[in-house]
Amino acid sequence: MTPDIRLRVDGRAIVLLTAGCAPGLCPAFAFWACKASAPGRSIAVTPMRSEQQQTDQHADTLHPYACECHAAHLPSSRKKARMRASLFKFGLNLWRPFLFAGIHVTVLSEDYRFARVELRHRPWNRNYVGTHFGGSLFAMTDPFWMLLTIHNLGRDYYVWDKAGNIEFVKPGRGTLTADFVIDDSLLAQLRQATASGEKHLRWFENEVHHRDGEVVARVRKQLYVKRKPAR
């Protein structure tokens, strides 16, 4: 007898209804059918009736199985697992615009709430007067507010760089550092400001320091944040 397989959404789970298959095979059908319905998610198949109750049913009875998606509840979430911060940091440090400019990400916390970036002085990245090239100082701060914000808000939000400016306080030599920190309060403010679907513009500020603590530059970046429309 050819198995009859039907899918329906039941709250937070997909429920698979099967008929014409042995009770032991029903979970397998449930797993693969739900896997196809929720690609990239962790699947666990949970019987809604006991195995004994199923064997007591006639062959044409539909046996329901619930398929729970632990990575994201169906049917609406667009959130997916973040890349490990250590792997992401490794990729950033191999990115050629950073690699050849002497920019190096030294710390990226696993929760994407903190980043520390260095600009290292090399013969090939100095300017005409032997100090750090101003474009490199701006580049070392360029993507990180956006990256930290987008990793914490998730795929339900658009996050873009909108504007930026830099104030050069003194010539930079040696190794320079810049820190980036976001917290729960900031994320809550962004979610609240975009809850109605309107765009929100937010300025972020940080400083570039020499190793001795002296301020070399002050940088401001403006982010555009907007919640994506529900699908």
DSSP three-state, residue 38: coil
Q: Which of residues 134 and 3 earns the better pLDDT score?
A: 134
Q: What is the pLDDT of residues 26-35, one digit of tens each?
A: 555 555 555 5
Residue 81 reports pLDDT greater than 70: no
78 occurs within a structural domain: no
- Give 123's DSSP letter: G
> With bands split at pLDDT 50, 70 and 90, how would you rate the model's confidence at 125?
confident
- Give 29's contacts (C-beta < 8 A, 6+ positions apart): 3, 5, 16, 18, 21
Are 116 and 152 found together in one domain? yes
Please report the pLDDT score of residue 51 as a whole number: 42
Domain total of the chain: 2
Mean of pLDDT values over 180-192: 96
Please report the pLDDT score of residue 114 as a whole number: 97
76 occurs within a structural domain: no
Are 65 and 94 found together in one domain? no
Distances (CA, A) of 66 to 8, 34, 46, 76: 10, 9, 5, 17
Both tokens of 173, joined, read 């030599």
Are 32 and 121 found together in one domain? no
77 occurs within a structural domain: no
Please report the pLDDT score of residue 27 as a whole number: 53
Are 37 and 149 found together in one domain? no
Give the separation between CA 1 and CA 33, rounded to whole angstroms. Answer: 19
Q: Which of 67-76, 93-102, 118-127 has the lowest mean pLDDT?
A: 67-76
Instruction: Find which of 48-52, 79-83, 190-194 is predicted with most confidence, using mean pLDDT.
Output: 190-194
Both tokens of 29, joined, read 């059908």
59 occurs within a structural domain: yes
Please report the pLDDT score of residue 28 as a whole number: 53
Q: Which of residues 57 and 74 earns the better pLDDT score?
A: 57
> For residue 122, which amino acid is it?
R
> With bands split at pLDDT 50, 70 and 90, how would you rate the model's confidence at 178?
very high
Distances (CA, A) of 42 to 32, 39, 69, 74, 136: 12, 9, 6, 12, 42
Q: Which domain covers residue 55, as residue numbers?
A: 4-69
Please report the pLDDT score of residue 216 as a whole number: 97
Q: What is the pLDDT of residues 50-71, one digit of tens each?
A: 444 444 444 444 455 554 444 3
Please state the pTM of the whole predicted model: 0.63
Q: Please name the residue that has the structure tokens 């250590």.
A: 86
Q: Which residues pair with 45 in a beta bridge?
A: 67
Q: What is the pLDDT of residues 194-227, one digit of tens each?
A: 999 999 999 999 999 998 899 999 999 999 999 9
Please report the pLDDT score of residue 231 as a whole number: 74
Let me know: does 73 contact 11? Beta carbons within 8 Å: no
- Indicate which CATH number applies to the domain containing 205: 3.10.129.10
Q: Percent of the chain scored above 90 by pLDDT?
A: 58
